[in-house]
Amino acid sequence: MSDSRSSSKYPPVAIFGVPTDVGAGTRGASMGPETLRVAGLVEALQARGVDVQDCGNLEGPRNPWQAPVEGYRHLDEVVAWNRAVMETSASVLGDGRLPILLGGDHCLAVGSIVAVARHCRDAGKKLRVLWLDAHADFNTHDLTPSGNVHGMPVACLCGIGPRALTHLGGDAPAISPADVRQIGIRSVDQGEKRLVKEHGLDIYDMRYIDEVGMKRVMEEVLEGVDEDTHLHVSFDVDMLDPAIAPGTGTRVPGGVDYREAQLIMEMIADTGRLGSLDIVEVNPALDLRNATAVLAVDLVESLFGKSTLMRD
Ligand SMILES: NC(=[NH2+])NCCC[C@H](N)C(=O)O
Ligand SMILES: [Mn+2]
Ligand SMILES: [Mn+2]
């Protein structure tokens, strides 16, 4: 076909915004979807030759902004939003499109990954989740220091958490810790550390990245990825160093720098196996001139094959 849209080696994409911060302890990530659009996400993908459909934003309950109850803040609202995310992700995957979730806070990855896991099971594909984050997000109601559910999605997906989230897709666990690789980690709470070790979560923390370098980290993370693998990238922008990405609610110093982040995205792009993406925790209320959203868009371009040299 001569249509430039079909020249991309990527499948068509469907973008949907999830404007909520019910899982977070700081307000503002609810404005993430619009700020990523303002930063030019759709146009940047189209310029890569990708067929992009913007489905607009999902709807759900408002943020009641209440204190945690029995270890969870806003659990009912978190479940309602995740149900909507799961349904939309499933229908996008069913249409043969690559879903891109614009968060919103990171609790929403429960819904997106439950849908992706089901899709992989039905399609006979192996799932690998790349969790790009400063945090392990493996808390439970009795370990959490905050009650914020955005600190719990990985545990929920692995079957540890409130039934409404662990069984969101009907059965549990949605995934196994062996399906997950975490990159950029540098803040894990005391009890969370124990749980992470107990479950053998594969964590590439900042110390390991410093010691061996990002190239080797990504080689290890992507080991075994083949044509039957579906890569789900769950990109919490707080993986990035706050000096380059200040617009997020739970900043932790000592994060991934610009070059390292580009290499992560480029090496994922090289596999050609990207199947779904979350971009979460962009908070324009804390940002400087939309720098964090602009950087996220820049990194997504690399994830869709833009390279700095003559490799296109
Ligand atoms: N997705 C995130 N930004 N999570 C931050 C979690 C922070 C902290 N570990 C907590 O559980 O409260
Ligand atoms: Mn996170
Ligand atoms: Mn985080």
pLDDT mean over 23-49:
98
Distance CA 17, CA 59 (A): 9
Q: How many CA atoms lie within 13 A of 23 on its CB side?
A: 29
Q: Which CATH class is domain 13-303?
A: alpha beta
Domain ranges within the chain, ordered by starting residue: 13-303
CA 296/CA 283 separation, integer angstroms: 12
- For the sheet containing 274-280, what is the strand order? 52-57, 13-18, 98-103, 274-280, 229-236, 126-132, 180-185, 202-205
Active site residue 150: yes
| 135 a catalytic residue | yes
- Asked if 133 is an active-site residue, the reply is yes
- ipTM at complex level: 0.96
Residue 311 binned pLDDT confidence (cut-offs 50, 70, 90): low
Q: Which of 51, 77, 236, 301 is catalytic?
A: 236
Verdict on whether the full-model pTM lies above 0.90:
yes
Q: Is residue 264 within 8 Å of residue 132, measured between CB atoms?
A: yes
List 150, 260, 266, 287, catalytic entry? 150
What local confidence, expressed as pLDDT, does residue 194 receive? 98
Name the average pLDDT for the chain: 96
| Ligand number, closest to the Cα atom of 149 | 1
Whether the bond into 153 is cis, omega within 30 of 0 = no
For residue 263, give the amino acid letter: L
Asked if the model's pLDDT at residue 2 lies above 60, the reply is no
What tens digit of pLDDT does each residue of 265-288 get? 999 999 999 999 999 999 999 999
DSSP state of 170: S
Kindly tell me if the per-residue pLDDT of 106 is higher than 60: yes
Q: Say if ligand 1 is within 6 A of residue 21 CB.
A: no
Overall average pLDDT of the 89-106 stretch: 98
Burial grade of 131 (CB within 10 A; 0-12, 13-18, 19 or more): buried
